[in-house]
Amino acid sequence: MLQKQCDDLLVKLNESKFKATTYKRGLATLVDQIITYKKNEVLFSEEIGVLKRDVACKDYEINVLKSEFEKVKQEKDGIDFKIKKFDKASKDLDQLLGSQITDKGKKGLGYSAVPPPHPLIYNRPNKFDLSYSGLDEFKEHEFKGYGPKDSEQESNVSAITELVYFFELHDHLNPVLSLNVTALENL
């Protein structure tokens, strides 16, 4: 019996050793898993921080785009309102013009009823005011009245003017003539 007890105790001891070894292996595996989980936790927490920053940046971009969209939407609404006002004003103007045209055969606002000038009537060209040019021939003569004209004075003035004009044209011929021209102008 003692032998049997010893054998039983040996079997229990071997079973205990086996269980202890199995427990130690399981414990080592669990420790490895915990170490792996802690490493993964550190990596995942870093990745979570990066992802949170990415989400915050995307949220900011979304908010910026939303505000830009709202601005563009307000501008579009303003433009649509202006277009509606323009269309209404255009329709009102068309109605006003339509009410002013009495005879539908006439075009415009009735101004076509005035006939154009007759083509055979000669309209002389307008006289241009060249008195500012400084030339004597374009100066307007001073009005002296309706009485008799002094023909001698007018003939002297026109003769002097003609002489001055001639000498100015032929100034290169004789320097003495140019002195005489200045003397004539001083008269």
pLDDT at 48: 92
Q: How confident is the model at residue 65 (pLDDT cuts 50, 70, 90)?
A: very high
Residue 3: per-residue pLDDT: 84
Domain assignments of the chain as residue spans, ordered by start: 149-187
Q: How confident is the model at residue 178 (pLDDT cuts 50, 70, 90)?
A: very low
Q: What is the pLDDT of residues 116-148, one digit of tens each?
A: 666 666 555 566 655 565 666 656 666 666 666
Mean pLDDT, the chain, as a whole number? Answer: 76
pTM recorded for the entire structure: 0.35
Extract the tokens encoding 129: 């005011």
pLDDT attached to residue 181:
45
| Mean pLDDT score, 87-102 | 84
Residue-wise pLDDT for 4-30, tens only, equals: 888 888 888 898 999 899 999 988 999
